């Protein structure tokens, strides 16, 4: 069995294609879901604001259910690129099913040629960008950090991979620095070993030593930092090449949304991190909330309401409060157990504003002719509800449509997967944009003004606008072929 396993690994590596990569450095992390999001948020704030790190950051996750609209909105403020692994053509859920298996896959399929991978529960002490220019990295193209345990010579992993048994220092995978142009094959080997988790993970602890095994099987050069980590009962403090603290890996002390945070002697940036957590709580209620499917009219109304500022909510005969309906269905001022999230949807031919607790509505209200929202309070003794908007403001429809177009482009993957399935991304994006452009003139106007970041995107937008123009020629307005009032044919000259 062992020789067959090794042969299968070698075939897998030999049959893989070398990726086409641009010369770009970046940070990759994996952090889908509410639990890891809090840690990832702190990590990104520390990198961006405390340490001044301007490296691009990709956050990988499993499917849309792991990143809510609120999470997406928050991370975009800090220039974080979200990557849904299920959008990558090579993804196979039977082989990449958890965070351990995702690490090597995300590193390999990220758009960066040089990657610093960081677990979401890291807090660097200083900007780690310098590592890419270190002599140790330039010499081997790969840097790993030691764990606090050793890999024994009697571990069955040696026999499985047909390697000479040895007592060696285990590698810790909370931080990995690798040049993919030099080591893409070793990453392919890591992906293979991760896919065989039922066999491999029983011999070694999770993903971490799959990296060491891959490097040993292929015999590629590597730098192992010569300083063991400082240890706390719940934190590993990995060191730089000179032995100074560099990465505070909170392995058993992840940041939590509403529980006491673990501190330890010698910790760096702890108070700053607590401040970031307080700011996170102001923006997000810590829940995974997804609004129901709803019309463009409902989305437009949501955007308008989120730009109004504070509204006065009165439970008639009881009390009044001010509430702030924020972007991404969050509530700012006025948030309570009974008021956690909000959305607008369609009921009959009206729009209904819904404020919810958990999965159940606490307030339902519809817009009246006099500009108020009127409805009912559905908890406790109930009662009539009246919501008063502040002074009227512009609905800013065009800005909404641009945001929608941006979201569709991101969801398609075209901006990051040019070498990994461009034709499928083009097909998906073109179909989505065409449907939305058919639906409302504001979308068409946004596409006309859009400045594509790539030739592929430029081609997609041009095709959509040509299709829109062709639709108008085939389906003119019934009144003598006159276009709807206020609409101008697409301007294709700039494309």
Q: Is the pTM of this model over 0.75?
A: yes
CA distance 99 to 62: 9
pLDDT (0 to 100) of residue 288: 92
DSSP, res 52: -
Question: Terminal CA-to-CA distance of the chain, rounded, Å?
Answer: 58
Mean pLDDT, all residues of the chain: 88
The alpha helices in 358-490, defined as continuous H runs, are 397-412, 422-439, 441-449, 455-474
- CA 158/CA 417 separation, integer angstroms: 36
Confidence of residue 451 (pLDDT cuts 50, 70, 90): confident
* Two tokens, residue 71: 């999470």
Residue indicated by tokens 């085939």: 474
Give the pLDDT score at 257.
94
Measured distance CA(340)–CA(355) in Å, rounded: 7
Q: What pLDDT shows up at residue 99?
A: 78
pLDDT score at 439: 65
**CA–CA distance, 83 with 69 (Å, rounded to integer):** 14
pLDDT for position 3: 85
């Amino acid at each position: 069995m062992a020789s067959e396993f090794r042969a299968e690994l070698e075939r897998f590596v030999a049959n893989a294609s070398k990726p086409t990569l641009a010369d770009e450095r970046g940070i990759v992390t994996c952090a889908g879901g509410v639990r890891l999001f809090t840690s990832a948020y702190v990590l990104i704030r520390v990198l961006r604001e405390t340490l001044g790190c301007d490296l691009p950051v990709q956050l990988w996750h499993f499917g849309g259910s792991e990143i809510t609209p609120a999470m997406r909105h928050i991370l975009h403020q800090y220039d974080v690129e979200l990557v849904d692994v299920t959008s990558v053509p090579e993804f196979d859920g039977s082989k990449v099913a958890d965070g351990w298996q995702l690490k090597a896959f995300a590193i390999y399929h990220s758009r960066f040629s040089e990657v610093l991978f960081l677990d979401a529960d890291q807090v660097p002490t200083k900007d780690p960008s310098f590592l890419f220019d270190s002599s140790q990295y330039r010499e081997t193209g790969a840097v790993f950090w030691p764990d606090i345990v050793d890999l024994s010579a009697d571990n069955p992993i040696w026999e499985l991979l047909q390697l000479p048994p040895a007592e060696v220092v285990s590698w810790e995978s909370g931080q990995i620095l690798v040049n993919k142009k030099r080591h893409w094959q070793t990453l392919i080997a890591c992906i293979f070993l991760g896919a065989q988790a039922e066999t491999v993970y029983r011999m070694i602890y999770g993903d971490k030593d799959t990296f060491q095994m891959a490097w040993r099987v292929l015999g590629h050069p590597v730098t192992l930092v010569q300083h063991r980590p400082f240890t706390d009962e719940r934190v590993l403090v990995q060191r730089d090449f000179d032995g100074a603290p560099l990465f505070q890996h909170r392995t058993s002390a992840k940041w939590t949304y509403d529980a006491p945070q673990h501190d330890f002697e010698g910790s760096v940036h702890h108070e700053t991190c607590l401040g970031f957590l307080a700011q996170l709580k102001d923006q997000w209620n810590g829940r995974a909330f997804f609004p129901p499917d709803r019309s463009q009219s409902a989305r437009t109304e949501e955007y308008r309401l989120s730009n109004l500022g504070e509204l006065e909510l009165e439970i008639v005969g009881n009390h009044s409060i001010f509430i702030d309906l924020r972007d991404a269905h969050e509530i700012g001022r006025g948030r309570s157990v009974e008021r956690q999230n909000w959305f607008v949807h369609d009921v009959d031919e009206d729009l209904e504003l819904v404020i919810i607790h958990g999965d159940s509505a606490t307030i339902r209200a519809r817009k009246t002719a006099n500009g108020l929202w009127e409805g009912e309070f559905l908890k406790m003794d109930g009662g009539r509800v009246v919501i008063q908007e502040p002074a009227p403001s512009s609905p800013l429809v065009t800005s909404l449509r641009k945001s929608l177009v941006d979201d569709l482009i991101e969801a398609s993957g075209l901006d990051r997967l040019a070498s990994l399935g461009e034709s499928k991304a083009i097909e998906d994006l073109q179909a989505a944009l065409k449907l939305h452009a058919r639906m409302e003139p504001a979308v068409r106007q946004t596409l006309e003004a859009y400045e594509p970041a790539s030739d592929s995107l430029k081609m997609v937008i041009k095709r959509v606008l040509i299709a829109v123009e062709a639709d108008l020629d085939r389906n003119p307005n019934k009144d003598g072929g006159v276009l709807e009032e206020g609409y101008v044919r697409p301007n294709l000259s700039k494309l």
